[in-house]
Structure 1
Amino acid sequence: MAREGKFTKDDLYKATNHLLLQHGYAGFHFGLLAKKLDISRAALYKYFDNKDELITEYMEFEMERFMQELEKIKKYPHFEDQLDYLLGVIFKYSKIHQILSMVFQIPKSDHPKVNETLEQLEYQHGKMYTYLNNFIQLGKSEKLLKLEFPNRLILGFIFQTVNIPNYSKLPEQEWKNLMIQFLRHGMFVERS
């Protein structure tokens, strides 16, 4: 029997993360979440009016954590060091990237808190792009990246490479090293 409702924010966010990854935005609902937390649905409605309020709050929390780490990229003066750091951060938050992309599925709302949080997420996304754009510009200024490739194309490849499933079941560090090698050198062997 579901209890009325003691849960921590950490418990709530872990369960939300798990269910969003398992069921997606459309399949996520308070019934599933209440069952996962072993609480009543009414306990959730004490804190959130609807799933969009919870999901956007959770997304904002994760985006802030990601941005705190991304801001540290400035500590590295050279592109290759920034690339290594960035890939580490992206790998660490690879599942969060999937969840944050669900923001586009959330419909416009009459709920002021949801709209406010969506605006904050949009602002954070713009801030993230500024950091990443500066990162790409550094690579181009150091003559390590081809000038003819648009910044968004390069960033897209970086983010999508990290999302490739490790079907080979290689150890995580070995998989990361292969991704870094692929991004740095491509798939062609060097010709002599």
Structure 2
Amino acid sequence: MARERKFTTDQLFQEVKQLLLQHKYEGFHFGLLAERLEVSRGTLYKYYENKEELISDFMIYEMELMLGEIKLIENHTGFTAQFDYLMQVIFRHSMIHQILGMIHQLPVSSNPKVIANKKKMDESHLSLYQLLQRFIDLGRQEKILKDDLPDGLLLGIIFQTINLPNHFGIAQDEWLRSIKEILRHGMFTK
């Protein structure tokens, strides 16, 4: 039987992240997590009523990490510097889309913690949108972004670049540089 031991929130959520990426929402369960943390399942139930509560807490944690980093975009002067910074953050948190997409798999719950976490996720998305709207507005003010392209499309394309499969194993730095080049200047020579 696994011994009872303490773990930090960071340790807990790092293991949750790895297990969700490996087993997806459906395959995730407290038994796997307890084994990875070398604790009993009962230890986990001391903190969380069920996996929905744990996973929704984890999603808040991941969103707050990324949002905290993206808020620092305003420390960078000019749209180009902010664009470079944003791309670095997006690629540093490249798995967040896959993880946050699992929120739709959480069953409709009467659990107050899950309900509160879903509401907090919605608020975080709104905060992210407002922050990125200022980024887009700056690009337009500096005449870098075309006025006739919808804001949502620009942000969608930027954020979806992390989902591009790198089938040929191009080095991460080269991959990111090439994506930024395409976003800035397109892929046509003329």
TM-score, normalised relative to structure 2: 0.93
CA-CA distance at 1:36 after TM superposition: 2.2
When the two chains are superposed, the root-mean-square deviation of aligned CA atoms in Å is 1.5
Alignment of 1:14-93 (within 5 A): 14-93=14-93
1:136-161 alpha-carbon deviations (Å, 9 max, x no partner) = 12212222222222111111111111
CA-CA distance at 1:5 after TM superposition: 4.1
Equivalent-residue separation in structure 2 for 1:65 and 1:36 (angstroms): 23
In the other structure, the counterpart of 2:124 is 124
CA-CA distance at 1:182 after TM superposition: 1.2
Does 1:174 pair with 2:174? yes
In the other structure, the counterpart of 2:163 is 163
In the other structure, the counterpart of 2:12 is 12
In the other structure, the counterpart of 1:99 is 99
Structure 1 contact 4–42 (Cα < 8 Å) conserved: no
Secondary structure of 1:21's counterpart equals helix
Of residues 27-36 and 65-74 in structure 1, the stretch that sits farther from structure 2 once superposed is 27-36
Specify the code of the residue in structure 1 equivalent to 2:156: G
Specify the code of the residue in structure 1 equivalent to 2:112: P
Of residues 29-38 and 106-115 in structure 1, the stretch that sits farther from structure 2 once superposed is 29-38
Equivalent-residue separation in structure 2 for 1:38 and 1:185 (angstroms): 50
Equivalent-residue separation in structure 2 for 1:62 and 1:128 (angstroms): 13
Equivalent-residue separation in structure 1 for 2:115 and 2:88 (angstroms): 32
Equivalent-residue separation in structure 1 for 2:11 and 2:37 (angstroms): 8
Equivalent-residue separation in structure 2 for 1:151 and 1:172 (angstroms): 27
Equivalent-residue separation in structure 2 for 1:132 and 1:104 (angstroms): 23
* CA distance 1:7–1:75, change in 2 (3 Å): closer
Secondary structure of 1:2's counterpart equals coil
In the other structure, the counterpart of 1:113 is 113
Structure 1 contact 162–179 (Cα < 8 Å) conserved: no
The sequence identity of aligned pairs, in percent, is: 48
Equivalent-residue separation in structure 1 for 2:77 and 2:37 (angstroms): 45
TM-score, normalised relative to structure 1: 0.92
In the other structure, the counterpart of 2:151 is 151
Specify the code of the residue in structure 2 equivalent to 1:103: I
Specify the code of the residue in structure 1 equivalent to 2:135: F
Secondary structure of 1:94's counterpart equals coil
Secondary structure of 2:48's counterpart equals coil
1:100-129 alpha-carbon deviations (Å, 9 max, x no partner) = 222222222111111111111111110001
Of residues 124-133 and 170-179 in structure 1, the stretch that sits farther from structure 2 once superposed is 170-179
